[in-house]
Structure 1
Amino acid sequence: MQQSFRMKFYILKLVTWPLTKWKLTCFEKQYRKFSKLLILTLGYPSNLDCAAQLAGIWNIPIISYTSSVSSKADNEKYPTLVSVSTTTGNSLSDSLVAIFYGFHWTQAVIIYNIENTDVVNRVTYLLKQFTNTHVQTTAIQLLSNVTEDLFMSRVSLADIKSTTRVLIIIMGDSLSSNAPVLRLLRNNGITSPQFVIILPWLVPTPEEQLPWVNENLTTDYSIYKDYADTFVLDSDRKRTNITDRFSSRLQDLYNISSTTAYKYTTLYDAFKLYVLAVNETFSQNDFQTIKNNTQVYNDMVSLSFEGASGLVQMDFYGERIPNYAIYVINSTNNSTGLTPIAAIDPKRVACNTSSTDEYQTLDCYMLDIQTDSAYDAFWQDVFKKVNIPACGFDGSKCDNSKWYIVSGAVSLIVVSGVIIGLIYRYEKQKHLTQMPWRLPIEKVEIIEHSDRAISTRTNTDTSASSTTYLQGTKGIYLNTVVKIGRYKQLKNISFDQVEAHLLLSVKQLVHDNINPFLGFCYNNPSNELLVLWKYCNRGSLSRYLHNTEMHMNIHFKTAFIRDLINGLDYLHNAPIGYHGKLNTNNCVIDANFIVKLNPVELDDLLEEWKASGSIIPYASDNESVPQNNNILGSALDLEGLTEESLFCAPEFLRKAPPNHIKLARMGKSEQMRIKNQYRSADIYSLAMCIYEILFRQHPFAEINLPTQAIINVIRNPNRDQCRPKIPKMLNRDHHPVILNLMQACWNEDSVIRPPIKRIKKIFSSVYKMKGSLVDSIIAIMDQHANSLEKQVKERTRMLEEAQLRADRLLAQMIPKDIARDLKLGKPVVPRAFTSASVLFTDIVSFTTICSRSTPMEIVNFLNDLFTGYDAIISQLEAYKVETIGDAYLVCSGIPVENGTDHVKVIANIALKMRKYLVDYKLPHIPDHKMEARWGLHSGPLAAGVVGLIAPRYCLFGDTVNVASRMESTGKPGKIQASSEFHFLITQRDDPFIMEKRGTIHVKGKGERVTYWLVDHRQPPVSN
């Protein structure tokens, strides 16, 4: 049966604090008078130190519930001391070290009160732990009543600013003791949030108000500003069910408020700890053991229970493992209280786990920092301030001498740049005088004449670009293949300053996606003006896009669009500043499938020379070059607009801009304004080019209206916006971002159209280019090679099939051997054959059948019947010579001689034909019995190919006539053979049954003996 007991506690009112010599004497007398089982302490840490040592001597458990000694884990000095205080002597310091470890902070400044013994002990322990964890610290000692002069003499503000951004201030037990130091720091520019200032609250008491709260519970903002944005480290006052019930009961019984009741919670936990330990001791031994203070003390150590002040966890040293929290005095909201932003909770770890972080392990517990996710951005801002820059906060960790060197170098570069600019200006003027665009005509070799413009549509599609590139001839200049535009020069040509600068700008255009202009040949004895461009052998982009034989996947299309964007980007950033007439006809493709833009500035110059009568196109060229080379027309005459005008922006269709020459003669500000308009118009034209590349159809091709009517709709701003329609089926094949970008580029409002830089950035992000430009070119060429290879295979297959059909047709018309000789080009010489066999067959009563049938039925009937005969012949070594009406002529032994085998072949054919005819039913007269006559004869023959049109292999000789007579004198269903045929077949001893018919009269031959071919001879039956 379980025993029970009751305990009586005596409250010794004589034991008051602080302890004096007289009170210690009284304390000893009371100890000897009463049960000597337990001492509960309340008071100052210095008094607790004395009382704890006495209790250790007397071996009496002493429980502190409001404070703790400073020396942690000193079992020899305090062997019976137990503390349930929420803030123990060293746990606050351990929490600070845990904060630095968890946030990876490595430097700190500690400002503390040297006159406060408890503060000094805590800071001493804290400095030791910081040293063990490799945190560099600077300790600054101050007095309680610090003055500004003393502060300035002790504190080096410059050292603080150059060392760290974290300050720990411990001037006393309460928060209000830190107010003078915070005021002095703020006056000298060290405040939050520029610095992280941590205020450990050593001994919080329920009666203590926040420093900035007055007696009437109002906020003193002059003090509050000193504390704003600082961090407070205090116990985490987590409420439990017991806490709520305990506070509620105290209020009901004793009218004690919840704030005042807080100080009784640890007293309650002290009693509960002792009672639980005694109960544990009593349950294990007899009643006398509860007087064994050593056993009771051992049972109190490492106990864990839910108390009124929260979760109570005792460590092996008899101290309560505290729960701390980090609070911020927030100045960004209306609250003037403490806002919890992180918790520091003990986390149990394996006791046998060795830890290199000595400060962090507390007897099988580790302090773990848990930040509030709602304050992640706040902590990131804190980390940015605390992290040490690579050169330190004052730059002393970096060698700044290099910056002086850099400054000197920059100055030198600036001076050098000015000098180089002056030299460049001089050289440019000199270069301009030398006219680098002038080429000697003697070095130009014309290798190909092409009088017609290359165009993918009608002749009216050829714009001004045809004059300088697409139109003209092909030649060689200095081992470079060039495209030459040729003109008849009537007057000497000279250049003014504006024209010379324009030509130099075009000459200096060097980019992978710009087709280079090589120069002019002019003022020469031949009175010719030649315009030379680099030759791109794959022609214009428009012609390539609309060549259905060219396979283009998404890689081809994106590569072409990327080239257009890169070329246009280069022009927009070049001195010229824009293109002006961008369309797919003005773009060419070189051998590496790189799209190059043709600059069109020279067209305006050529037009001025034409207008002045200095040059005229050659007559042959004049047929294909339109008289009006301006794609915008003359004074916006709709009749002068071409289909390339569909690429022009609507604002330019409404009002034509000045050409390149006129623009170059304007002022700088006017040039900038119009160039910006041209750039925006280039973006519109780029959108049309992208449309044509993606869908491989001309813009507005779906609109069934004349070009002039479409242009009239586009240029009218009062109508609905007219733009190319995106095909629904092809829409799925392309990225929606690119389609949206294309539509943004052809916006009616030129201001809304995106600039080329933005277009390039968006396109590059959607279609990332893998590898270098060369890799992309190689990949494109591989794809094109594969496409060509497939085309070659398909064409080869089609050719082989056609050849096979032709061979079969030829073999049906003439013998295979003769057909082979004809294909090889060998002459077919007529030949004479000494022995061959001929078969003639004719249908009996064919005239009667014809009278009962329509012509189509006769044709179908003969085709069906003779097809069966053809199948029989194809199995044997024979040749069908021809069919005449219902007559069928077969021969064996020609053109390949086979000895006397031809009689056997012809005999087999005749028997097979007869058997086939017996089973044959006339489709449209099924009740008619089909019968035929066959005539066989052997003898010499001559054969050869007759005619060039529908050639036939024909037989000549009396043998054919005799075979025909054998058929005509025969009887229905009978096979009649001549005596020559009978003789050969008898000599061979072939298995055929022959019966003698007798002597008959043969026209032209007189009396002849003939035989019937009856059937095959049956083999003898073996025993």
Structure 2
Amino acid sequence: MNESTLVNSTYLCSVLNIEIVTLTIIQPVLLGALTYLGPAYIKGLQRTRQRHPSLNITQTVLWDPSYRTCQDLQADGVNKITAHVAKTYKSSNSDPCFITVLMWGGCSEVLEINPIARELDLFMLTSVASMPDLRKKRLSPTWITTTVNSMLTYVNVYVELARMFSWTSLAIITDNGANPYFPQLVDSMYPQISPGRQVYRENINTKEAVDFRKILLHLNSFTRIFIYMGDPTGFRKLLLKATELNLTNGEHVYVIGTPFRFSAEPGYLHWKKNDTDDEVVQLAYRSVLIIEPDGSVYGRTDGSDTFSLEMKNLSKTEYNYTYRPYELMSPHPASTYAGLMMLAQVMENLRSVNAYEIWSSGRKTAKLFLNRSFETDVGRFYIDPVGERIPTVQVNQLDWNTSQIRTLFVQDPADLRVHAVNAPQWPGIWPPLNEPKCGFRGDASSCTPKGNTDLYAGSGGGVVALIILIILGVFRFSRHTAYDALLNIDSWRIEPVVLRAVGDTNQVLIPKNLSELVGNTKPVAMKYANDQLVWVTLATKLPIPSTAKTFRPNRIALVMINHLRRLDHPSINRFLGLTVSDSGLHVYFVSDFVQRGALTSLLPQMTLDYDLQIALIFDVLKGVKAIVQSSIRYHGNLSSQCCYVDKHFTLKIGETGFNKLRKLISQETADFTDGNNRDIRAVGLILLHVITFEDRFASLEKFKSTTNEQSQDSIPPKFSKVVPLLKQCVEGSSATTISDMSSLTRKVTAAVGLNAGRMEDTHLLERIIRRLENYTMELDHQVAVRTIALVDEQRKCDILLREMLPTKHIDLLRKGTVPEPETFGLATILFTEIGGFKEVVKNSKPAFVMMFLNDVYTAFDTVLSRFDVYKVETIKDSYMVVSGIPLRNGHAHGKEICELAFCLLDAYSSFGVLFDGTSLRSGIHTGSCAAGVVGHKAPRYCLFGDTVNTASRMLMYSDDSRIHISESTFTLLKEHFPEFQTERRGTIEIKGKGSVTTYWLATAQLSVNSRK
């Protein structure tokens, strides 16, 4: 475009007329139907007309009642849109203030219409279609899409997860009977994920009978990572069978990808389906990772469903369509709505600067969308360099406590990198091992017994008997070997260095002088690796002093430790592991921190109402029941002192099995046969403590010495029927034993007047518990949100500062120290400027000039990030870069600057459509230089010396699209980087320098494109 075209008064449009041609079906059988996307068009057109009155946007919808399938559209719809475009294109071509835009979300008919759009140079925007052929810009130069199902995006998440956790053996189970998108996704994924990995593909069809047992047993011999591509209903069946085969204990990972959800039906991508399998699937989901886009793809930018409700209401009022029960709104209405807003933003900018040659060209208009983020009412939309939207994809997990979605990792749309957000909740070691220590079949050399067994037999019968004994012995030995291999996993071991005192981050958790813990079994709060608070309790003095790394309990204690670590229940405080003091004399228990402390210290400080008392009572009963039903079988030292209350007023039984484990570690002999009886007595005493608020019954001796009259005074009337049951427990009545906690729970439930049958049926307490939890969670959420906002602002500040000054100088300025200027013996400086820019600017509006320069320098800044260079400054259309300053890099500065010069020329070539007749010219010089920070109010990092002046002269005497280098740069390249080719320009007269020999940088025989 030349300057005369840009400012020709013929094309000054006070109103720009935009006709949007939409091809669609009306029947609600596909996601691109007008019944789904029509409301987005209505709402989007209303909003854009309000915000951009200078844009007259109209819509022509081409549809027919007979259009019910994609085949109908392909057969007739393409011809219809071709006829319409041919009819209107002539008038639009003659009217510079009239534009035709193709926009719709439908089927593969976009592949049929794409050649028409390319031939007529019409801009085409889709909100559903995303196909590999469309990503080829040579074939689709006018196409942009706002859809969320970009295959490239989801493939990258799977590849990144495999790379991050070194998973080199994977299985992909594909449901070919569900959405055809899943097989296409797997076909795209396989070439990228398979290099360097063993990938096993299993195709199923859930519309037919599927033997998941056979599939899992087969794949379990090769991998522990299962990627499921298909309907979540089939995935639930797979998890049920995996649980049946004991494959959901944390050693296996089940990954399900959901580009978007179609249904809110119970059990759809969730454990709860209100059937008998709910509890089984809920536990299985602890081993599941869910890959899906964030909520903004549905228009939920503020956490609400306002946009969805508006779309559903318009579907009913405008198209007489009511969403089916449990039917979710797809992401495509939000994509369509955002597409209209993005189109209006771009067209308004072009109209305001009268850029007719751009808006009249679909190719040039499409370029303005590439590699750019747009802010819309339904979130931020990032369009990649080929025109496809990259959504924000998350790796989620169902939270164990709330069963709500919990985000673990997030993929950044701009660079496709995966960032950790939260630590996973996992039933075993995280991340799960790629291969078990004993191999997939248990035959690894590390677990196979070595040595030879000699058989001697004196008779046929003896040989047979001996062989049988050997077989039985080998079988038992192999079982013990495999179990020993499990015990050899030191996930229970916690190094002292990762534990710190709460008040001092530099202090080790268990220093030698922490004498107050010796002889004191009360837990002490400390900080864990991620500043997580934990309880640290003195276990015992070691019989033989050991270091943290050499300490190892005996086999019986290891079995006990593994049982305790697997004991996971909401009413039991989780045991994390053991650690040893620096002195090597004492071992300590480490368990989860509980915020409100022990029950004995909490009750005297506050008055609990009846509902909370009931809640605490049932927490005790549920916790003890879980202990009884586990392999631990009894607590061993149960009392009010080891019952803790968390911030949600949930009681958690702590120190489970500590007494027994303490004696096993210290190698003491003790009798544990009466553990059950002690526990049932302790249950009675604890519940009496909760009811009376007094520590009168804290021990069996106090209980026996208390008369009935004394005890009856402290008992509220509502608990009068409960106390006799508790007294039976304390007195050790045979009618109630610890092994029958369910019976005791039913009796207590009936005694307090609640519905019999289930302890969960506590509707009286649910109101206050939920109110307290919601209040606490809301406060936690507000604190987390504001903390994240503060950290984000600090990060933005740091990024901005690092763009202005070198990092080491920023740190000095923050400390109040003025950085000393430095002298650099050798560095290379590059100057660039836009040739012909001054002439063009004279006849252009300032807004357009600023937009142009911003786009150019943003592209240049992106290129700079790939090189070891420092951007000094930009002045108007001049751009100054240096290498070797402020970080010295030997002789590499010459190579870095010269390669950068080629990449900047290549980057600027794409901006020729905006300013015809302009080009980039460059000048390079190598020499010594001084540098330092100048100023206090707005400090800048400046370069000084003759090298700067000479580099500027190289630019001044350069030509369009050429790289002009000095003799010193030529000498550096010749000596150290001969792969660069140069052309001698000759001796020229340079102002202030006299006669100087200079050179042109021709081409570099390097893989310069590798930096792109």
What is the TM-score when the length of structure 2 is the normalising length?
0.34
Q: Which has the higher contact order (CA 8 A, sep 6+)?
A: 2
TM-score by length of 1: 0.33
Larger Rg: 1
